[in-house]
Each structure stands twice: as C-alpha cells, then as structure tokens.
Structure 1
Amino acid sequence: MTAAAIAEAGREARRTALILAASQAIIGSAAPIAISVGGLAGHYLLGSDKSLATAPITGFNVGVALGALPAAAIIRRLGQRDGFMTGTIVTALGGLIATLALFQASFWLFAFGLLVIGIGGAFVQQFRFAAADNAPSEFKARAISFVLAGGIVTAILGPQIVIFTRELFAPVMFAGSFASILVLAAVGAAVLSLLRIPAKAAGKADITDSDARPLSEIVSRPRFVAALFCAVGSYALMSFVMTGAPLAMVGCGLSTDDATLGISWHVMAMFAPSFFTGSLIYRFGAERIVATGLVLLIGCAVVALSGLALWQFWTALILLGLGWNFGFIGATAMVADSYRPSEKGKVQGFHDFVLFGSVAFASLMSGAVYNAWGWEMLNWIIFPVTVLCFMALGVLKMTRARPTGA
C-alpha cells in the first residue's frame, strides 16, 4: 500500500469514528434517560411494595444482552450502516412503548418498553467495534476511545432532556422524557446515513470464513478470558452501583434533580477521559489501564462508604464513571486484538451477550440488595469483584510466556 493510500485510509477511519461518535452522542442519550428515571418511574408506578422499582432498568440491560447476538447477525447480514439504522428503529419503538405505558400507568408495559430500548442499545454498543474494525492497527484503541467520547454529549444531553421534559405531559411524569427518544432516534438515523463503509468492512464480504477458528477456541484463550472477565467486572459493578444511586440519594432526602445531576456527572466521567484513554492504552498497554480502572472503582467504594452527603454521592459516582472508562475501554481493546477479521461478528456478539447479561443481572440485584441491606452493601460488593478481576489479569500475565497463552 502506498503512502498516499495509507494516509487516505487513516482519514477515512477518522471520518468513520467521528460519525459513529456523533451517533453515539445522539442515540446513546436514550440510555441515561432510561437509567436516570427508569427506577424512579418504576417506583411511582408500583404500589406499596417497591422492591421491583429497578426492574425497568433491568429490562433495559436485559434488552442489551438479548439484542447482542441478533444485532451482530443483522449487522453482518445488512452491513454496518444499514444494520445500525435498523437499531434506531428499534430504539424509537421502545421509546414509544415506554411513553404509552406511562400514560396507562402500566408498570410491566413500561419495563417492556425499556427492554426494547435496550435491544436498540445493543446496536449502539457495536459502534465501538465498527470503529476499530475500520481503523488501521495503530489507531484501533484510539478509534474505540474516540467513539465512546461521544458519551460526553450523552452525559449532558440525556439528563437535561429529563429535566426539561419530565413534566411535559403532566400529570403523567416522565412521559415527555421517553417520547423524546423518538426524536433522538430520527436524528441519529440521519447521521448514520452519512457512513460510507466498504462492503468488506461492513461484513458483507465476510460470509465465507475459511480462516475462522471455532468460537470455543477463541473464547478459551487467556487474553480473551481476562478481557471478558474485566469487562464484565467493570461494567457490572458500574451498573450495580449506579442503578441504586438515585434511589439512595432520594431516600436520603436529596431531590430528584440532585439525583439526576449526579447521574449526569457520572456519565460525564464515564466518557470524558475517552479523548485520551486510547492514547494511554497505546502507550502503557491495555492491561495496565484496566488495572487503573479497577483501582478507581475501589476508590468509589471508599468514598461512598464514608458518608451520605451530596458531595460524597457525586464524588463516588464520578470515580465510578472513571473506573468504568479505563476498565471497559481497556478490556474492549484487549478483545479487539483477540480475533481475526473473519471472526469479528461471532466474537463481538458472544462478548456483548455475556457482558450485558451480567450487567442485567447486576442491575436487578441492585434493587434487591438496596432494599434488603441499603446503599452501603452496594459498595462493599465492589471489593471482592475487583479482586477477582485483578486475579484474572494476574493469570494472563503468568500465561504470557507460553506459546498458546495469547
């Protein structure tokens, strides 16, 4: 390949990452809308027993998990651009169902609406892999990080939409917030239409996979196992603590706006470092960045357990977001290096199915643990999980000298 061709490929990779980052910012805003008020809306829709208040958020996470394999298959079949646009239709449908459920005061229909929004979110989760798949090797980690940087806009846009639209259809609270998801999906589809990914990169030329290894062989390799373990640990802990945080804040006498802004700061912390996380991975290695993320998660627990003031909630949520960023992006970079181009669809789908299935379970357990043992227990659980993740990284380091280790 000539120098001019290499330069052109680099420019095209950056353009693709920019479009995907913008799409992440717009369509991805459905996630903080669902998460920041899903539990509160569920709380209001339930009767005297509030133990299932976070079930709608669990529905969202279950949707992401259930949608992971079908989303990968649809994207593989239709190509990345058309597959992603299909995802925007699913997201809009979920927003419509959730809105109608609030008007009908139907808790379980509302939970189903968030499940459908989550299925749409499974397509959004593929944006980071698409950026890596269409980037030169030296730009892969930065492409992933650049796409996730679109979450900075998500951190601002999602919660602000909630604040300005939650009473739009008063006295039906939050209906306006979920109706706005239809608008976000439409704008996101318009942005995605600008993608110009070659057919081969889009997946259409990968149907014959003569060099593809069996999935069981790929997912049993130490590098993939450690990456999946750390991705699940980082993301599940983040979901576990974040899901219970708004309930804990309101339960301590803080306002709904305080809880919503706390989630906003948290989501900002999740994505703001993305401008340089990829460069840090390129310089120091993915494993070290993952380890840094685990240390930040421990810091979240320490701050959260120190008291119940507003600043302690917000600081803990910020550390939680930073820990997720380093842990999850680092683990994603490890996964992206563990498969061949012909293997990407099945590996990415399997990875996200396991990942978001675990996240869904964590969000469901969050409500149950919070109701049974309180906010403190949500944070104590961080310690053993991070220890297990450190052990997975340690095993990877020990096996690296073996020819079959990575």
Structure 2
Amino acid sequence: TLPTGAISRRFGRRWAFVIGTGCGVLTGVLGSFAILHGSFVLFCIATFLGGLYGSVAQSYRFAAADGASAAYRPKAVSWVMAGGVFAGVLGPQLVQWTMDVWQPYLFAFSFLVQAAVALVAMGIVAGVDMPKPAPADLHGGRPLLTIVTQPRFIAAALCGIISYPMMNLVMTSAPLAMKMCGLSVSDSNFGIQWHIVAMYGPSFFTGALIARFGAPKIVAAGLLLEAGAAGIGLSGLTAMHFWATLVVLGVGWNFSFIGASALVLETHRPQERNKVQAFNDFLVFGMMAIGSFSSGQLLANYGWSAVNLVVFPPVVLGLAVLSLVSWARRRKARLEAAMGEFPDAI
C-alpha cells in the first residue's frame, strides 16, 4: 500500500492502477505455469504478486472519492465497495467452471482466467480520467506525522484497524470451527457465501446512511454489530448460529469499514490524500494480516469461543476513542460558535 501511495503521488493514480493490474495479470500467468510445472516457489511468487494487485485494488474506493463533492464522497466509496457483491458471486463461479479444465492440473486454467479478468480491469482503469497530480502537490501539504497524529485520524484509523481484522479473524476461523463441530463443507460454503453478500450488499445504501447520520454513528453501529456477531457465535454451535454470526459480522464490517474510510477522507487536504490514504491502508491491512495468521492458532489452541471473545475488547476500545473524539469535536464547535456570537464574553 505504501508504494501504491508513492506512485499515485508522483505519477497519478492511473499509473498505479495499471501497474497493479499488471501484477494481477502476472499472478494468473505465473500461477498457472507454476501449477503445470509443480513449482511451489514460483507459485509463492505468483501469490505475492497477487498481494500487490490486491493492495492497489483496495485504493479504488479512495480514487472514486477524489472527484466527488464532500457530500457525495461517502456514497462514492460505498458504491465502489458494492462491486464486492458481484465479485462474491462471479469469483467462486469462475473457479467452479474452470478448475477441472486442464486435468489433472487442478486450478491451472482458473489462474489463466484470473489473468484475463485482471487484463480487462487494466483496460478499464487505463481509460479512466485520473489526472496526474499538479507539480505543486508533490511537495505540498503537511508532514505525514502531523496529519496522522490528529485525533480524528487516529479514531478513523483505529476503527478501520479494529473492524477489518476482527471481521477477518472470525470469518477465517468459522469454516474450520464448523468442521470441528461436525458440520458439512456445504454448511460452511453456504455461510461464507451469505457472509460475502452481507459484507458488500449494504454498500448500496451505506453511503446514504453516512450522509444522513454522519460517519461516526455508522462506524459505531458497525462495531456494535461485530460485537453482536461474536455474541451470537458464543450462544451456540449449530449451523444456524454460525450462519447468523457470519451474516451479522458482514453487515457490521460494511458499516464500520466504509464509515472509517469516510472519516479518513475528512482528515486530509487534496494534495495530501495519496500518502495519508496509503498509510491508513498500510495500518489496516497490516493488522489484518496479523489477524489472519493468528486465527488458526487461536482456534486450535483455545477454541471457537476464544475467537469470539477476542472481538469484544478492541470493539470497546474503538467505541471509546470514537466517542471521545466526537465529543471533543462537538465541544470545539460549540466554543467556536459562542466566540462568534459573544466575542467579548469569551
């Protein structure tokens, strides 16, 4: 994410997106070649390139907000995230249709199809009007440290850091936990499919909710829903309990993550956006990686209940910081209003 921000700042988002989708094409080509030739090292290189592609794709939501008015930015972020609904449906189907084409090399053809999809994406982003930054923007704006130490940025980044890793922690553990509880693979697949729909489906109206109620309230609602999902997970071990956990978790992530992204947009000036957004994503997805790595060990050593219990302390912390920053912001606004109305009395 950090190189993505640097390239966007120096050459514009278009070049960053073209390079990222190029990595996506290489992911598919090298992945297929590695499977055909049984090279695990080459396969790991391919998946590393896939990570680079993913890091660029995560910044699409911020790019959509660049050209939007301040009032429309949350909706722009939300609509881009809504694309995940189609990805969640089409992605697994593409794998299902292509994984057995080149027998006995399972998934070899699927990776080539993935390369073709990335190539289509490259053609689309190359044609989008994303102007190169003005020369003044390269050295303009405040230092990054000054921006990221703002209370509002700290609250926004912290909520993103909590919402995404906590969702990922529970999501990646759920199918394994279902297997350990004697449920079928079909039960797991059904739960994950509806989890993906719940993650991205609300995006069609999340932006409107943020515009009406404000990002802090939507973030708080999302964090509470994630805590509620963990509570459902602790209440039983039937397939219905797992499904409900995953659905509520998905909606909670949608509200909290999109809301946190909208909050980040309020913390920087136009010439500062690339470095600030890249740093935010570095924090969020770095913590998500740690959450992914730790979920298996946590589940294996302490069980499904421990996975759900871990969710509560970070959510409480996020709500506390968000409330404190919102209170301070309202207090500052009241003081400024009072100074404007009664300047001699202050």
The code of the aligned residue for 2:303 comes to G
In the other structure, the counterpart of 1:336 is 265
* SS of match in other structure, 2:68: coil
Please, which of 158, 161, 165 is the counterpart of residue 94 of structure 2? Answer: 161
CA distance in 2, matches of 1:242, 1:333: 24
In the other structure, the counterpart of 1:203 is 133
Matches within 5 A, 1:253-268: 253-268=182-197
Number of residue pairs matched by the alignment? 333
The code of the aligned residue for 2:117 comes to L
Q: Name the stretch that deviates more: 261-270 or 105-114.
A: 105-114
Please, which of 322, 345, 350 is the counterpart of residue 251 of structure 2? Answer: 322
Contact conserved, 1:159 with 1:263, CA < 8 A, in 2? no
After superposition, give the CA deviation of every residue in 1:112-144 in whole Å (9 maximum; x if it has no partner). 433321111111111111111111112111111
In the other structure, the counterpart of 1:62 is none
Please, which of 51, 75, 84 is the counterpart of residue 118 of structure 1? Answer: 51
In the other structure, the counterpart of 2:69 is 136
Contact conserved, 1:244 with 1:366, CA < 8 A, in 2? yes
Alpha-carbon distance change, 192 to 305 in structure 1, aligned in 2, over 3 angstroms: same
What's the CA shift for 1:313? 2.0
Provide structure 2 residue ranges, at least 5 long, that are not aligned to the other structure: 336-346
In the other structure, the counterpart of 2:19 is 86
Matches within 5 A, 1:52-91: 68-91=1-24
Alpha-carbon distance change, 389 to 111 in structure 1, aligned in 2, over 3 angstroms: farther
CA distance in 2, matches of 1:311, 1:181: 33
In the other structure, the counterpart of 1:275 is 204
In the other structure, the counterpart of 1:388 is 317
CA distance in 2, matches of 1:321, 1:181: 25
CA distance in 1, matches of 2:89, 2:60: 20
Identity %: 43
In the other structure, the counterpart of 2:80 is 147
- Answering whether residue 213 of structure 2 is matched by residue 284 of structure 1, we say yes
In the other structure, the counterpart of 1:180 is 113
Q: Name the stretch that deviates more: 162-171 or 125-134.
A: 162-171
What's the CA shift for 1:256? 3.8
In the other structure, the counterpart of 1:215 is 144
After superposition, give the CA deviation of every residue in 1:163-217 in whole Å (9 maximum; x if it has no partner). 33333344444444433321210121222233123x2xx435454444x111111
What's the CA shift for 1:370? 1.8
- Answering whether residue 155 of structure 2 is matched by residue 226 of structure 1, we say yes
CA distance in 2, matches of 1:164, 1:255: 22
* SS of match in other structure, 1:129: helix
CA distance in 2, matches of 1:316, 1:176: 34
CA distance in 2, matches of 1:109, 1:265: 33
What's the CA shift for 1:77? 2.7
In the other structure, the counterpart of 2:344 is none
Larger Rg: 2
CA distance in 2, matches of 1:208, 1:181: 35
Contact conserved, 2:4 with 2:16, CA < 8 A, in 1? yes
In the other structure, the counterpart of 2:338 is none
Alpha-carbon distance change, 236 to 217 in structure 1, aligned in 2, over 3 angstroms: same
CA distance in 1, matches of 2:142, 2:327: 24
CA distance in 2, matches of 1:380, 1:172: 41
Contact conserved, 1:159 with 1:261, CA < 8 A, in 2? no
CA distance in 1, matches of 2:177, 2:28: 26
* SS of match in other structure, 1:322: helix
Alpha-carbon distance change, 142 to 371 in structure 1, aligned in 2, over 3 angstroms: same
Q: Name the stretch that deviates more: 331-340 or 372-381.
A: 372-381
CA distance in 2, matches of 1:173, 1:257: 20
The code of the aligned residue for 2:124 comes to V
What's the CA shift for 1:154? 1.0
What's the CA shift for 1:248? 2.5
* SS of match in other structure, 2:71: helix
CA distance in 1, matches of 2:263, 2:219: 10
Q: Name the stretch that deviates more: 167-176 or 353-362.
A: 167-176
Contact conserved, 2:156 with 2:264, CA < 8 A, in 1? yes
Alpha-carbon distance change, 180 to 380 in structure 1, aligned in 2, over 3 angstroms: farther
CA distance in 2, matches of 1:190, 1:260: 32
Alpha-carbon distance change, 105 to 323 in structure 1, aligned in 2, over 3 angstroms: farther
The code of the aligned residue for 1:395 comes to L
Matches within 5 A, 1:35-46: none
CA distance in 2, matches of 1:175, 1:378: 34
Contact conserved, 2:9 with 2:138, CA < 8 A, in 1? no
In the other structure, the counterpart of 2:173 is 244
The code of the aligned residue for 2:16 comes to G
* SS of match in other structure, 1:146: helix
